[in-house]
Amino acid sequence: MSRILLIVGGGIAAYKACELIRLARRAGHSVTCVLTEAGHHFVTPMTLAALSENHVYTTLWDLKDEAEMGHIQLSRQADLVVVAPATADLLARMAHGHADDLASTLLLATDKPVLAAPAMNVRMWLHPATLRNVETLRADGVTVLEPDEGAMACGEFGPGRLPEPEAILAAIESRLGAGRRLAGRHVLVTAGPTHEPIDPVRYIANRSSGKQGFAIAGALAALGARVTLVAGPVTLPTPAGVDRVDVETAREMAAAVEAALPADAAVMVAAVADWRVDTAAGQKVKKSEAAPALSLVENPDILATLARSAQRPRLVVGFAAETERVEEHAAAKRLRKGADWIVANDVSGPRGESVMGGDANTIHLVTETGTETWDRMPKGEVAHRLAERIADAL
């Protein structure tokens, strides 16, 4: 998932920017729009707000906007600034460093990569002034796409049409991907508990919230990985850019993991139930009957099976919840399960500060070369650090 700041200039092709917002969001990106004054003549802030599901910024001089999100902050919080359509005038003002409206000020203040998709009349595009401006912008590091050639709204024919939204999105992905360490990699993540049915209404479960696994899936996607998240029953929103497969039982999770292969890495964060009820009742067990004796059988060990399979990902990471002698047990678990790394957390704390369901974790990362301890930190930070370590290893 990436954050795109989309500046919509004043040209008839502005309607195609609407389609671009839709495509970019479908690809998992968030889009925040800035509409120039000229842009207002072609599309409305309402259209852009509805499609982006975000506030639309239109002027430097809005006290409320400035108080909530200053224009400097707005220019920096994106991963990529996209100008589409980039009119001849916008290109000229960008090339000369103007800062007399919101769009030009953002473009001057940003420290993020900028991609411009030009659209204008063929004569304007071929004018030496525009060609000079494009050359200047490219020398400044701005990606300026070549416009398409064809019939134009003004009745002329030639280069100057806005590239199709699909082509702009591909250019966006490629510009973003250049700086993203896990682009082109597929990572499999399991998260959450599993539910093992006793009868159609009752099940055996555990306290896993799925928060750590979901945070890891999101952090990997933010580094550009294609992420398949196999999730047990939890009520968390899917992190942007992540493909989610919902499952209930350990056996369903095992099947979903197998179906998602091949992968470059697997991070098994799920708290998989070790046992299931041997023969779950087909109908609800009535209280009037004698208290049932549950006969349990072992579930497949998804991590151990994957680590020893023919399709073993290059890096297999397991998690371990331990209550005593954490490092020693984690090291033994690493060997027993055939994992490359075990991320161990101490879950012995009193309920009030429990790791399971809580928002922070103390981590021991056990690898072939030893153990590293990460002091108690938010689960989001654990996720970020682990994703970076995975990128180092792949």
Smallest separation, CB 330 to ligand CTP (Å): 9
Q: How far is the CB of 301 from ligand CTP (least distance, A)?
A: 4
How far is residue 76 from each of residues 99, 114, 303, 331, measured CA to CA in Å?
16, 11, 40, 43
Q: Would you state the structure tokens that stand for residue 169, as one six-digit string?
A: 């999105």
Catalytic option among 72, 129, 154, 296: 154
- Distance in angstroms (rounded) separating the CA atoms of residues 94 and 97: 5
Q: Report the C-alpha gap between 385 and 317 in whole angstroms.
A: 14
Residue nearer to ligand CTP on the CB measure, 291 or 297: 297
Quickly count: other Cβ atoms within 10 Å of residue 135's Cβ. Answer: 12
> Minimum CB separation from ligand CTP for residue 200, in Å?
23
Q: Find the shortest distance in angstroms from Cβ 212 to ligand CTP.
A: 11
276: Cβ contacts below 8 Å, ≥ 6 apart = 196, 197, 204, 249, 250, 251, 296, 297, 299
Strand boundaries in the chain, DSSP class E: 3-8, 30-35, 56-57, 80-86, 114-118, 143-144, 148-151, 157-161, 186-191, 196-197, 203-204, 226-231, 242-246, 265-268, 275-277, 296-298, 315-322, 341-346, 360-367, 370-378
Query: Considering the complex, what minimum distance in angstroms separates the CB of residue 365 from ligand CTP?
Result: 13
**What is the Cα–Cα distance from 26 to 172, expressed in whole angstroms?**
14
Closer by beta carbon to ligand CTP, 168 or else 230: 230
Q: Which is nearer to ligand CTP, 226 or 337 (CB)?
A: 337
Tokens at 215, concatenated: 């945070």
Report the candidate in 110, 117, 51 with the shortest Cα–Cα distance to residue 87. 117
Report the nearest approach of ligand CTP to the CB of residue 50 (Å).
Answer: 41
**Cβ–Cβ under 8 Å, residues 374 and 382:** yes
Pick 86 or 271: Cβ nearer ligand CTP = 271
- Which tokens sit at 166? 């699909």
What is the C-alpha to C-alpha distance for residues 183 and 24, in angstroms, rounded to an integer?
17
Residue 154 annotated to the active site = yes
Residue 125 or 319: which CB sits closer to ligand CTP? 319
Q: Specify the residue, 20 or 268, whose C-beta has the smaller distance to ligand CTP.
A: 268
Name the token pair of 297: 């059988």
Residues of this chain that bind ligand CTP (CB under 6 A)? 190, 250, 268, 270, 272, 274, 299, 301-303, 318-321, 333
Residues with a catalytic annotation lie at: 154
